[in-house]
Copies of this chain bind each other. A is one copy, B any other.
Amino acid sequence: MLSREEERASILRILVATDCHLGYLEKDEVRRFDSFETFEEICSLAEKNKVDFLLLGGDLFHESKPSNSTLVKTIEILRLYCMNDRPVQFQVISDQAASLQNRFGQVNYEDQNYNIGLPIFTIHGNHDDPAGVDNVSSNDILSAGNLLNYFGKTDLGCTGVGKVTVYPVFIRKGETYVALYGLGNIRDERLNRMLHEPHAVKWVQPETGDGTPAYDDWFNILVIHQNRTKGSPRNGISELLLPRFLDLVIWGHEHECLIDPKEVPGMGFHVTQPGSSIATSLIDAEAKPKHVLLMEIKGTQYRPTKIPLQSVRPFEYAEVVLEDQVDVDPSDEATIHAHLHQIMSNLIEKARESAVTGLMHKLPLVRIKVDYSGFSTINSKQFGQKYVGKVANPQDILLFKKSGKRCKITQESTNSPGEVDMNELNQQTIEALISETNLQMEILSVHDLNSALHDFVNEDDKSAFHSCLQQSIEEARNKLTTAPEDSTDIDEQQISCVLDQNTQAPEKGTTAKRRTGSLNLQTTDTLSVFEEPRALESDDEPVESSDVEESGGSSQQAGRKRRAAPAAAAAGGRRKTDLASFQRAPTKEEDADAAKKRRAPVAAGRYGAVIRRR
C-alpha cells in the first residue's frame, strides 16, 4: 500500500487551459459574464480534480489594458480559488527569479504571507503581452499581487532580431521531474526569424547530477502562444522549428479545440492545442465543444484526459450555398428569408438539445455563413431582430460571402480569408493584415510599420507613425550620405529612387544580418528575408539540417529519446499508457559529442546546458 502511496506522490497533476480572454465583450448585455463564468469553471475543475497547478497558455485577458471591472472580477475569482489551505505538493527547484518575472522573484506559494493552495502558471499571449516603457503585461498585475506565476516573459528590445534565453521552471514532485518552458507571444514574424537565426533562442536545460536525474528522466513541456502553421512560415510558427528535446508542446492562441496530444512526425514531441475557453470568432472552428486537459505526469510518461467545459455558451454554426437550395428563388427574397429562418429554427433547436445535457440555459450563439453567389444579400440586422431574446448574437447571425468556389471549408486553418467579419478581424493580428497585402516598400520597413501600428493601436501612442516615418527617413538619409551619389539635400520622394544605388554600400553589422544583393535597403528587416535561399538539406526536416551547420549539436538531437505517447496518439507503434501502467521509456545511448555538450555548466541555479535553437 505504501508503494501505491509513493507512486501517487510522484504523479504531477496539471490542468491545462488557454485563451480565457477575460473581459471579452464585457459591454455586451448578454455575453458580458461569459469569459468569467468559464474561467471560474476552469478554476473549480482544478480544485475538483485536485491538480497540483493550473497551467494557462496565454491570453488570460482579452485586453492588454483590462478594465477596472475585469481586473476586479479576475482577482476575485483567483482569490476565491487559489487561496486556501491545500498543501502544495511539488517544488520548483530552478532559480525562480530567472524564470518568473516579478519583483519578488519566487513562486507565489512560497511567499509566507500568502496561503496559496492552487498555484497558477501562465505565459502571456498576444492580447496581454508586455508593453510600454516598463515592459509590463496585465499578467504582471496579478503576479505583483501574488495571484499567479507569470513566466515566459521576454524583453527583446526594439532593434534587430533580438535574442532570448528561455529559462524553464524545473518542477519536482517525488520522482517526477518536469522542465516547464514558456515562451510568451512574440510576433510570429519575429519569432520565426529568431528560430531561424543561430543563437537567437537559447533553451536552458537542467543540470544533471547532484540529486537531479539524467536528461532523459526529465519531462520537457513547452507552452507557446503563436499562430500555428504546418507549412508556410509566413504568419505563424511551424512545429518543425521547435527543439526536439521537448516531449509535449502546449499550443495557445489557436482557438480551435484540438486538445488530444498529437505527434509531430520526426520531431519526437506531441502537441496539444487546448483551444480557447470562449468563442471570440463565430467560425466553424470555435463551434466545436471546448475542453480543458488534465495531464497526469509520472516520470516521463503522461496520461492526458480531456474534460468538457459545461459553462461555455452554446454555439451552432452552419454554412449554406443558396445556389444549391431547391426552395430558394433568386427573384424572390422571401424564399431566402424562409430558408434561412428554417435553418435558424433547426440550429436553435440543436442548441437547446445540447444545452440540456450541459444543464445550461444560456442563449446560444448562432452563425450562418451564406454563400449568396447569384443572389442578393438580405438585411442582416433586420433578419436578426426576430431572434432578440432567442440567441445571444441577433446582430450578427448571418455572414454573407460571395464566391462558392473560393470558400470551400478550409479545415486546415482557423482563419478563413476571403470574407469579412468583424469578429474575425479582432482575432487577426495587425501584422497578418499588413503582411497579407504583401507590401513591398523601400523606405518604410514592414517591421517598423508593424511596431508603429502596434504602438498606435495597443499603446495609444499617437505619435507612433510619425516617429516611425521620421526615423526611417533619417536612416535612409544617413545611408544616402555614405552613398557615392550626391544625396545631402533630398526629400522623401527622391529617396526611393536613389535607394537601389545604395545596395553596393559597404555592409556592416552583426553576423545576425544576412542580406542578398537583390534585397532593398530596409528589407533585411522585412518578411522577404524568409524568401532567401537557405541551406536546407532536406525538405522533411528543413530546420534540423541547418542545425548541423550552425551549432554542431545535431548528433545530440538525432539520438533523442522517444517517449511513450499518450493514448490519443497511440498509432505508429507508440504504446498507449494509462496511470496504472506508467512505464519508464527505454533510455537510449548518448553519444560522446552530446555528453560533452551537456556537461557545460551554467551559472544560475540548477540550470544546465543551453541548447541553441534545437
- Residues in A85-132 with C-beta less than 8 Å from chain B: 103-104, 111-115, 131-132
A69 with B113: CB separation less than 8 A: no
A112 and B69 alpha carbons, distance in the complex (Å): 25
Chain A residues with a Cβ closer than 8 Å to the other chain, count:
33
The segment from A70-78, A256-264, A398-406 found at the interface with B is: A70-78
Q: Does A357 contact B (CB under 8 A)?
A: no
B138 with A68: CB separation less than 8 A: yes
B67 with A132: CB separation less than 8 A: yes
Number of copies of this chain that the complex holds: 2
What B residues does A114 contact at CB under 8 A? 83, 113-115
A111 and B27 alpha carbons, distance in the complex (Å): 32
A146 and B146 alpha carbons, distance in the complex (Å): 11
What B residues does A67 contact at CB under 8 A? 65, 132, 136
Residue of B nearest to A84 (CB): B113
A72 and B104 alpha carbons, distance in the complex (Å): 12
A144 and B65 alpha carbons, distance in the complex (Å): 18
Instruction: Answer whether A76 and B144 are a contact pair too, CB < 8 Å, given A65-B65, A113-B114, A114-B114.
Output: yes
Q: Does A134 contact B (CB under 8 A)?
A: yes
What B residues does A69 contact at CB under 8 A? 132-134, 136
What B residues does A27 contact at CB under 8 A? 133
Residue of B nearest to A66 (CB): B68
Contact residue among B65, B68, B111, B137 (Cβ-Cβ distance under 8 Å from A132): B68
Q: Does A601 contact B (CB under 8 A)?
A: no
Q: Does A140 contact B (CB under 8 A)?
A: yes
A131-162 toward B: CB 8 Å interface, digit per residue (1/0)? 11110111011001111000000000000000
Q: Does A79 contact B (CB under 8 A)?
A: yes
A43-81 toward B: CB 8 Å interface, digit per residue (1/0)? 000000000000000000000110111011001100100
Q: Given known contacts A68-B131, A72-B140, A79-B146, what 16 new A-B pairs fall within 8 Å (CB)? A: A64-B68, A67-B132, A68-B137, A68-B138, A68-B141, A69-B133, A69-B134, A71-B144, A72-B134, A72-B144, A79-B113, A84-B113, A114-B115, A141-B141, A145-B145, A145-B147
A residues with CB within 8 A of B? 27, 64-65, 67-69, 71-72, 75-76, 79, 83-84, 103-104, 111-115, 131-134, 136-138, 140-141, 144-147
